[in-house]
Chains A and B, each alone.
Chain A
Amino acid sequence: MNRWEISISVTHPHVCAELSLHFKILLLILFGKAPRSCNPENLFGLAVLSKHPLNPPPPPPRLLYKRLVWEPLNEKRCAYFQAFSLSLSLRHDDLKEMLDSNKDSLKLEAMKRIVAMIARGKNASDLFPAVVKNVACKNIEVKKLVYVYLVRYAEEQQDLALLSISTFQRGLKDPNQLIRASALRVLSSIRVTIIVPIMMLAIKEAASDMSPYVRKTAAHAIPKLYSLDPEQKDQLIEVIEKLLADKTTLVAGSVVMAFEEVCPERIDLIHKNYRKLCNLLIDVEEWGQVVIINMLTRYARTQFLNPNMNESLLEEGSDKTFYGSDEDEDEEEEEKEKKAEAPMAKRKPYVMDPDHRLLLRNTKPLLQSRNAAVVMAVAQLYFHLAPKVEVGVIAKALVRLLRSHSEVQYVVLQNVATMSIKRRGMFEPYLKSFYIRSTDPTQIKVLKLEVLTNLANETNISTILREFQTYIKSMDKDFVAATIQAIGRCATNIGEVRDTCLNGLVQLLSNRDELVVAESVVVIKKLLQMQPEKHSDIIKHMAKLTDNIQVPMARASILWLIGEYCEHVPKIAPDVLRKMAKSFTNEEDIVKLQIINLAAKLYLTNSKQTKLLTQYVLNLAKYDQNYDIRDRARFIRQLIVPTEKSGALSKYAKKLFLALKPAPVLESPFKDRDHFQLGSLSHLLNAKAGGYQELPDWPEAAPDPSVRNVEVPEWTKCSSREKRKEKRVEKPFYSDSEGESGPTESADSGSLNGLCRLVLCEQSSEEEERKHQRKSDQQKSDSESESDEESDSESSQSESDDSDSEDPVCNNRKHKCIDSCFKHSCVYSLVLCLQNISPCSALKSYELLHRIRGEGLSVEYCFSRQPFSPDGNMVAVQMQFTNNATSEAKNLHMEDVKLQSGMRVKEFPEIELLPAGETATAVMGIDFCDSTQAANFQLCTHTRKFFVSIQPPVGELMRPVFLTENEFKKEQGQLMGMNEITEKLTLDAKCRNEHTIVQRVTTAANLSRVPCGSDKEFAGRTVTSGSLVLATVATKEGGAAQLTVNCEKMVIGTMLVKDVLLALTQ
């Protein structure tokens, strides 16, 4: 990077001459001489002439120097610009002019060019005043680009940046939520300390904004403000606390992110929100999921007990790493003793906290995420928090990630390597997924090798070794070297194959590739150290290799081996020393040191033969260039050669040199890496990264679990309808159809809140229970373990219920709130009754059984639109039986009800006798589960059976609710998007007045009109799930009208539109 680009653009052609002079001077100042490619005369050819030749002359040259842009040039561009291209900041004049113009298109063009400059890393800061003027520009495109510029340069031009603030402050008050959000986003991105109070205020306001999107932006702004001014921490924590209580999935991820950045130590803020976060998790966007899971891992480590603590007592050693070295075993034994001494008696049998179970259960589906980061986050959560027997589930998901991009593979393999040391069994079934392909990048190969080595045991070692044999033939020599090391590790760890491995390695010694041989020598050396006496022939073989192997490390290893075990090869050793003495001067330093060692050892064991040789070597070493070697030689001479002056040490020389040396332990570099949280950057680097939060150890005794109970909301403040509404809002999008809220409820059921809710929404929870039942049935057939787990946790939850009710205070409160619930539900049904009076006028009746088919018995039914008293979830069906026959009918009842799953029927009481010509009515209830599926059953008399079915029009699946217009508008606002269906229509000529429209709509659907509404608005709730159904008919001139239906249940909405449309157009 020794080339420089000097760019000058010139406004006046005639200034060029003058400039070039200054240019020469400049270059002289800078380089002492003009550099090779500098030919100022050439400059003119390349000088970029401005389009505006009549601009004022440039500022005096002295100023210019300062503004020159210096930038290292890469080779390629140098080729383009053999000389210099010129561009001075003066070039920006035209940009400034464009920005000042009145035309948006010019401004836009200018901003585009500026953004392109920023992207290339060019400095555009001098345009700040010109750009900032446009912050209030009406054109949204220009505005956006100005924001980009502002965020980039505001920090450098603080005082000018302040000019833009008022625009954003105005934006914060805009009625459009998106504009509010974007104003807050830019305002908080401007890193100017002076506006901290403004930002603080804006964040606080936005945190209580109606729109969840704005609240999300507020959560994003918190860490920005914190990094700008850490002193705001306390105030920010208040905001975080408020946002943590937010119930929307949109906000959850962002606020936890803010929490992690600002106050990760304030774990107490999480207690109350823990269950909510667990339940929301699946609906949070993927990036938020990662952050929340990581935070909850830490939380769980502080709040729950170690699920493996009993196992670790009982099954100690069973899962112990196979090749745990002796040292390890000792340690473990010590541990065992320690544990055995202390707690056995004290420790109660472990029962998993239901909240702990909740976390595990709710994160498990996320293993199926398409996002590798989410999968990894769940995997580490299970690894750190789950009972040993359950950790296995993550293996499959992790193995799946191995088919992703190589960077993902790299990170996942690092984590698998760590996990496979602790939980080998988990990955054993996937052994083959770690086989190496020749096309893998080397770093992936090495990691896979590591995992394979960790997974090796007596049963699979032969397959693994066969696989290794293929790898040794690879062209990638680094990888071959790693394979040899891996073989060495397998050999040390698994005694049975040690000889096989050794033989294999010895064969490699005749390999043509020197690196391979060298690596083998090093590994063999380590292996031989374990049982030297058995392998003197290998040592002899290796001694012969000294003639051929040139790699210093290998030579040194061989020499060390011979020296160390010279007693096993008494004849060869002196000869080797003789050869080495000859080549001593040409050897590498490490080899020289080993020659000295060898000489010393031989001198001590076999001084007769080697005395002279040793002397010779030591003399050579004495004059070596390397001081280490000179020192070593001097030291050894003093130690081994007896002289008058030699001290007491020489007596022990033999002991010193030929002491028994412990065999080296070949250990995985991933051992003990799991003290870092898996999946973290620190784990990957095996070093603590800045901002890393330690994973706390499990507590000895569990902290009070009741802190997570959510307090009962004040009922005076919270009317039942509000409560319902809230519930609906917090319900995640997809949950309606699959009873997802089942676990939500049951999770809360430990708390009082949940209980109240249960009472309040009796019908719906019953319904959910039923669904639950159904689900667990299905699951049972799916997998035994799953349902076991489910029921386990449920029972433990009910246990916690019991313990709750023991507390008298709690009990009182519970009663109180149940009372108030009842009160509210009474009021509620009262409202319902009032509403129900109106639409009954025109009930349409349908035929159930024609008198011909029914042999005289005819049955008609209608939907009475009255609440069905035995079960609020059911639609009341009023049936009218007419006996047209001549004989009486007896025992009218129903049988053999065939229903779609989830549906229920409350049969009508048996009509014992229906005399000829008489009519009787009966009411039955059907829970259609908010679907228009027919209920099929048999209608039986004492003689005959008739197959009949009742299919409800969609309009009957709902019941009216009372909403004020404001409430209506608000609810409607929350049911936008896919929940809203709009249809244009032309009203039937007969039904253009308001009254008829209302009548027709209420006939078609069991809805009630919103009083005093400007349009014709109708509201209701579906019978089973209580989802709001809102309909609006807006009339225009000439019979044109528009029908809008808002309903969470899209199928119902669509069908309702169809029906109402029909009613209004016919």
Chain B
Amino acid sequence: MLMFPSDSLITSFVYSMSALPPFKPVTSYWFRLSQNGQNELLCFPSPASPPPAAMIHSLFLINASGDIFLEKHWKSVVSRSVCDYFFEAQERASEPENVPPVIPTPHHYLISVLRHRIYFVAVIQSEVPPLFVIEFLHRVVDTFQDYFGVCTEAAIKDNVVVVYELLEEMLDNGFPLATESNILKELIKPPTILRTMVNTITGSTNVGEQLPTGQLSVVPWRRTGVKYTNNEAYFDVVEEIDAIIDKSGSTITAEIQGVIDACVKLTGMPDLTLSFMNPRLLDDVSFHPCVRFKRWEAERILSFIPPDGNFRLLSYHVSSQNLVAIPVYVKHNITFREGSSQGRFDLTLGPKQTMGKAVEAVLVSSQLPRGVLNANLNASQGTYTFDPVTKMLTWDVGKINPQKLPSLKGSMNLQAGASKPDENPTINIQLKIQQMAISGLKVNRLDMYGEKYKPFKGIKYMTKAGKFQVRT
């Protein structure tokens, strides 16, 4: 696809040569070509020249229908045509999430993540740890979500200037610069309805008027000068049960994956400590950088100066060695008979080991075999839907009443003449149990030092099903 440089370009080239005597032709590339009215470089010369110094060269945002709706370059421009390799891979992949995260192309490597049905495709040119890029892209998405509430194509398009400013701050020459949300918020104010209105009237943007000092302070994750009238600190202990239950109802594997999300709105520079009744439960932990690691190692106490606002303080893992309580049981009978175009579907849910707490927001979903045409079911409680295209059966159960167990019974119709499917569907379950951490983890106390006021403290426990699967 070699094209000839347009006249105007050549003249400008010549012009610059004659106007500036010491001008040395740029050595890092050979041809500057004009396409789409943009100049781009196509090929890099001898291997002797240094690799282009940038970890992340460019970023393209691609929506589900394959439009590139945003591009940002931190070095010289990389043509969007590089995304064609990505589209190729996308076509090959059967499902959107099956696009390989790393795609090599002749001159670049594409590393992508898929979040909220948007592909974030980073273009890199030389060796870099792939996780570095992936983790960064996820951080970008998290930041967008933090700023705009949602991370959708529409939100990004509406806030394109803020997005651009954010990207500019987050990466300098392809290397991460400011990724802490507290720092970014000092540099670029997140849009709110009120501010958008004020901005339209006064014509200002979201760029912070004052120069931020956070980056320079010793607490790089906390902005300075925080003031609240109500000082509050809330902690949510959320645990997810990942489990695989086999046909007979016995647990194949079960683990608890927990996080402590915090929403801290405290004036000044509070120094918090959080201690647990039973810290030994935590098998494997990872911390927000604010947590003092040594203190945890020595005393099993979380001691930290929190960032302002929402953040994930800790995520932990309770290993499968400890017996994990499984909150629900499933009785199922899903059968297809040979030679008949009918199948039986029978599913009953019941509570198990819930320590007296109600099991709420139960949602059952199952991918039925491809041969199933439709399902004729009867739910004793809640509603069910069956999507005949994706063959996805979803049953929104709601709360489980232990006196009257919810069940879903009925028949499935198969394609006429089709043979009996030999696979059995797996059943995925989502549920919520309020006010309980299934591992039994309990926060002992929260103390604050360094500030004089009395903060309002709150703690909430919740158990959810994570990847909870029942094989049939």
Which residues of A approach B to under 8 Å, CB–CB? 66-67, 69-71, 74-77, 104-106, 108-109, 112, 115-116, 118-121, 123, 125, 140-141, 144-145, 147-148, 152, 155-156, 158-159, 176-179, 185, 188-189, 191, 193-194, 211-213, 217, 220-221, 223-224, 226-230, 254, 257, 261-262, 282, 285-287, 290, 294, 365, 368-373, 375-377, 396-397, 399-400, 403, 405-408, 410-412, 432-433, 435, 437-439, 441-443, 467, 470, 473-475, 478, 511-513, 679-682, 684-685, 687, 689-693, 733-734, 737-740, 775, 778-779, 782, 976-979, 1050-1051, 1054, 1058
Chain A residue contacts of B101, Cβ below 8 A: 407, 410-411
B257 x A403 contact (CB < 8 A):
yes
Query: A460 vs B80: C-alpha distance in the bound complex, in angstroms?
Result: 50
A interface footprint on B190-204 (CB within 8 Å = 1, 0 otherwise) = 000000000000111
Residue in B closest to A192 when the chains form the complex, CB atoms: B26
A680, A684, A977 — which one has the most chain B CB atoms within 10 A of its CB?
A: A977
A979 x B218 contact (CB < 8 A):
yes
Number of CB contacts from chain A to chain B under 8 A: 337
Tell me the minimal C-beta distance from B288 to chain A in angstroms.
Answer: 6
Query: A1053 vs B272: C-alpha distance in the bound complex, in angstroms?
Result: 16
A185 x B172 contact (CB < 8 A):
yes
Q: A155-B76, A159-B16, A435-B252 are in contact. Are A254 and B36 (CB under 8 A)?
A: no
Query: A1058 vs B367: C-alpha distance in the bound complex, in angstroms?
Result: 65
Within 8 A of A (CB), among B278-294: 283-289, 292-294
Within 8 A of A (CB), among B452-470: 452, 467, 469
Q: Is B22 among interface residues, defined by CB-CB distance under 8 A?
A: yes
Selected contact of A432 from candidates B8, B216, B252, B424, CB within 8 Å? B252
Query: A467 vs B244: C-alpha distance in the bound complex, in angstroms?
Result: 11
A978 x B305 contact (CB < 8 A):
yes
Could you list 16 A-B pairs, sorted by A, with CB under 8 Å? A70-B37, A105-B202, A121-B80, A125-B37, A144-B207, A223-B53, A224-B173, A228-B28, A287-B176, A370-B286, A377-B129, A397-B286, A439-B467, A443-B100, A737-B295, A978-B222
Q: A140-B207, A223-B53, A737-B295 are in contact. Are A119 and B68 (CB under 8 A)?
A: no
Chain A residue contacts of B129, Cβ below 8 A: 290, 294, 373, 376-377, 679-681
Residue in B closest to A368 when the chains form the complex, CB atoms: B286
A119 x B164 contact (CB < 8 A):
yes
Tell me the minimal C-beta distance from A178 to chain B in angstroms.
Answer: 5
Q: Is B398 among interface residues, defined by CB-CB distance under 8 A?
A: no
A406 x B161 contact (CB < 8 A):
no
Closest 7 CB pairs of A and B: A105-B203, A691-B126, A977-B217, A223-B53, A978-B269, A691-B51, A432-B253
B76 x A191 contact (CB < 8 A):
yes
Q: A119-B163, A408-B131 are in contact. Are A737 and B219 (CB under 8 A)?
A: no
Q: Is B369 among interface residues, defined by CB-CB distance under 8 A?
A: yes
Q: Is B236 among interface residues, defined by CB-CB distance under 8 A?
A: no
Query: A290 vs B129: C-alpha distance in the bound complex, in angstroms?
Result: 9
B450 x A1054 contact (CB < 8 A):
yes
B284 x A738 contact (CB < 8 A):
no
Q: Is B403 among interface residues, defined by CB-CB distance under 8 A?
A: no
A473 x B160 contact (CB < 8 A):
no
Known interface pairs A123-B37, A435-B252, A1054-B449; 19 further A-B residue pairs with C-beta atoms within 8 A, sorted by A's residue number:
A76-B65, A77-B67, A118-B164, A140-B207, A188-B173, A212-B216, A372-B134, A372-B135, A377-B129, A403-B242, A407-B114, A439-B426, A441-B95, A467-B252, A689-B127, A738-B292, A778-B298, A977-B216, A977-B269
Selected contact of B161 from candidates A70, A116, A684, CB within 8 Å? A116
Residue in A closest to B212 when the chains form the complex, CB atoms: A178
Query: A227 vs B57: C-alpha distance in the bound complex, in angstroms?
Result: 13
Tell me the minimal C-beta distance from B182 to chain A in angstroms.
Answer: 12
Tell me the minimal C-beta distance from B140 to chain A in angstroms.
Answer: 13
Pick out which of these stretches binds chain A: B312-320, B326-334, B348-356, B436-444. B312-320
B127 x A691 contact (CB < 8 A):
yes
Residue in A closest to B420 when the chains form the complex, CB atoms: A512
A74 x B66 contact (CB < 8 A):
yes
B369 x A690 contact (CB < 8 A):
no
Tell me the minimal C-beta distance from B119 to chain A in angstroms.
Answer: 11
Tell me the minimal C-beta distance from B14 to chain A in angstroms.
Answer: 12
B173 x A223 contact (CB < 8 A):
yes
Q: A71-B36, A76-B65 are in contact. Are A775 and B298 (CB under 8 A)?
A: yes
A112 x B179 contact (CB < 8 A):
no
Which residues of B approach A to under 8 Å, CB–CB? 6, 8, 15-16, 19-20, 22-24, 26-28, 36-39, 49-54, 65-73, 75-77, 80, 94-95, 97-98, 100-102, 104, 109, 112-115, 124-132, 134-136, 138, 160-161, 163-165, 168, 172-173, 175-177, 179, 202-205, 207, 209, 211-213, 215-220, 222, 224, 242, 244, 246, 252-253, 255, 257, 269, 271, 283-289, 292-295, 297-298, 303, 305, 312, 315, 317, 320, 367, 369-370, 419, 422-424, 426, 428, 449-452, 467, 469, 471
Query: A115 vs B213: C-alpha distance in the bound complex, in angstroms?
Result: 26
Chain A residue contacts of B125, Cβ below 8 A: 690-691
A411 x B134 contact (CB < 8 A):
yes
B177 x A220 contact (CB < 8 A):
yes
Tell me the minimal C-beta distance from A264 to chain B in angstroms.
Answer: 10
Chain A residue contacts of B271, Cβ below 8 A: 1050-1051
Chain A residue contacts of B53, Cβ below 8 A: 223-224, 226-227, 261-262
Residue in A closest to B224 when the chains form the complex, CB atoms: A977
Query: A155 vs B74: C-alpha distance in the bound complex, in angstroms?
Result: 12
Tell me the minimal C-beta distance from A971 to chain B in angstroms.
Answer: 14
Query: A109 vs B205: C-alpha distance in the bound complex, in angstroms?
Result: 9
Residue in B closest to A107 when the chains form the complex, CB atoms: B203
Tell me the minimal C-beta distance from B7 to chain A in angstroms.
Answer: 8
Chain B residue contacts of A733, Cβ below 8 A: 218-219
B255 x A433 contact (CB < 8 A):
yes
Tell me the minimal C-beta distance from A447 to chain B in angstroms.
Answer: 11
Query: A682 vs B71: C-alpha distance in the bound complex, in angstroms?
Result: 26
Query: A734 vs B288: C-alpha distance in the bound complex, in angstroms?
Result: 14
Residue in A closest to B55 when the chains form the complex, CB atoms: A257
Query: A740 vs B297: C-alpha distance in the bound complex, in angstroms?
Result: 12
B286 x A475 contact (CB < 8 A):
no
B126 x A690 contact (CB < 8 A):
yes
B298 x A680 contact (CB < 8 A):
no
Chain B residue contacts of A191, Cβ below 8 A: 26, 75-76
